[in-house]
Amino acid sequence: MRRTKIVATLGPATDTPETLTKVLQYVDVVRINFSHGDPEEHQARVEAVRKTATEIGRFVAVLGDLQGPKIRVARFANGPIDLAVGDKFTLNVTLDRNAGDQRQVGVDYPELADDVEPGDILLLDDGRLQLKVDEIAKPEVRCTVTVGGKLSNNKGINKQGGGLSAAALTDKDKKDLKTAIALKMDYLAVSFPRTGDDMREARALLGEEGKEIGLIAKVERAESVANQELMDDMILSCEGVMVARGDLGVEIGDAQLIGVQKKLIQRARSLNKVVITATQMMESMISSPLPTRAEVFDVANAVLDGTDAVMLSAETAVGQFPLETVQAMDRLCRGAEQERVAQQSNHRIHENFGHINEAVALSAMYAANHLDGVKAIICMTRTGLTPLLMSRIRSGMPIYAFSSQPLTQHRVALYRGVTTVPFSTSSTSPEAIQNAVNELKKRGAVKEGDNVIVTRGDQSGTHTMTIVRI
């Protein structure tokens, strides 16, 4: 059983029923990218996923991903230009959107001249080109090219070290929030939040209608990881975080990104939140049926660090080998999970617990890791909180979330090591444990002589742990 979850972005490459059916055999969460397509397109894909997942007997969660305030250059009148080191180049916020040339280009962010000062470094096209700001002469930002290359239409702009003041939620994002609610998405990712306040604003905008949507903060601004207090506030403001390594790496630099990724995964797990590792994980497979060795180790390191999920973007949305990509990701995750370090944990071993359900959840996991003969954990749950707490512990033990709640059945699809089992019997009834064990026996997950740990409770929460010998 693979413990690390796979998130795959949908797109033209997965639109045929045959491909979608095969891909969903390996995928736990599908991503709907609001940067592309319209509401009708998104609806068609979500409906296709839910129909197909039901047909093949899988629970697949739906994650919407807001576009956010991506700051971009405008367009060039005569196609891409080549910039050489030492060239003078101007970003002009009032220039006609289609009038870019060898000397200047428009920008779709009017506040750029207010957010930068001489000496700042601007990174274009994910850092492939770099400009040093020489002078601010509103509406112009006059620069010198320090890293040259080809620049084409609509490429992104970042400021090294962060500091661009664009609000996290644009007017387009606010419209897409309504689409996410209408489609009953399980999760919604917010792009470019600066602080936890941006996530709290998104929660407020979702309102009562969207209260059951889990929010994921895409960590991609330097400000949000400037210190542990800001990082923790971001993590605690929502249901989980995504290590969005593209823009984050551009803003803080590749060397610093290494430690930040590991810290984000560790802090998210410590604070009982889920964490997704994303961006360029298998990028070569957009056009190749096999990953590079560097990609193999990138995926493996994220798994060994304890990420809940690894994410595919263009690889499955527009790539030539979407099925081969998810199969490779599945294979690599399983391989990394066989390493002993992926099954050992000291999580909160020296801390006190503030709630009974925490004590029961973590006690169950430590018992499972140290008692010979335990083959599975059954967690009877209504909200999914107890299996979330359990999944923070590194283990090779499968956690089965027995629940009658459709929301919970899909929400736990993102939790590392957790498999949902539809279960209608009340967890307080005398027959509940036997019925749950019988279900695992029927699935071939356990057999006579095995030990199974069962946690259960009532409306007040999980408060009982039982060890059953089959």
Annotated active-site residue in 3, 5, 22, 31:
31
pLDDT for res 66: 97
Measured in degrees and rounded to the nearest 5, phi and psi for residue 183 equal -90, 0
Mean pLDDT, range 125-144, rounded to an integer: 95
3-state secondary structure of 408: helix
Mean pLDDT, range 181-206, rounded to an integer: 97
- Whether residue 45 lies in the annotated active site: no
pLDDT for res 350: 64
3-state secondary structure of 393: coil
Mean pLDDT, range 133-161, rounded to an integer: 95
Q: Structure pTM?
A: 0.92
Kind plus residue range of the DSSP H or E element containing 285 = none
- Bigger pLDDT: 445 vs 427: 445
- Whether residue 58 lies in the annotated active site: no
- Whether residue 31 lies in the annotated active site: yes
Annotated active-site residue in 2, 22, 45, 218:
218
Q: What percent of the chain has pLDDT over 90?
A: 84
Q: What is the pLDDT of residues 278-316, one digit of tens each?
A: 999 999 999 999 999 999 999 999 999 999 999 999 999
pLDDT for res 321: 98
| Residue 264 CA: distances (Å) to CA of 70, 139, 417 | 23, 38, 19
- Which residue carries 């797109």 as its tokens? 11
Measured in degrees and rounded to the nearest 5, phi and psi for residue 190 equal -105, 125
What is the overall mean pLDDT for the chain?
Answer: 93
Mean pLDDT, range 261-270, rounded to an integer: 96
Residues 428-463: b if buried by 16+ CB within 10 A, e if exposed = eeeebbeebbebbeeeebbeeebbbbbbbbeeebbe
N-terminal to C-terminal alpha carbon distance within the chain:
21
Rounded CA-CA distance 36/66 in Å is 10
Between helix 245-252 and helix 254-270 the angle, nearest 10°, is 120
Mean pLDDT, range 147-160, rounded to an integer: 94
Rounded CA-CA distance 173/70 in Å is 11
Q: Is 268 within 8 Å of 274 (Cβ atoms)? A: yes
Rounded CA-CA distance 192/247 in Å is 9
Dmax (CA) of the chain: 78
Question: Is 90 exceeded by the pLDDT of residue 458?
Answer: no
Rounded CA-CA distance 193/167 in Å is 8
pLDDT for res 395: 86
Rounded CA-CA distance 375/397 in Å is 7
Q: What is the pLDDT of residues 89-99, one digit of tens each?
A: 999 999 999 99
Between helix 322-337 and helix 293-305 the angle, nearest 10°, is 50
- Whether residue 307 lies in the annotated active site: no
Annotated active-site residue in 52, 90, 277, 279:
279
- The DSSP-derived string for 70-96 is --BB--BTTS-EEE-TT-EEEEETTS-
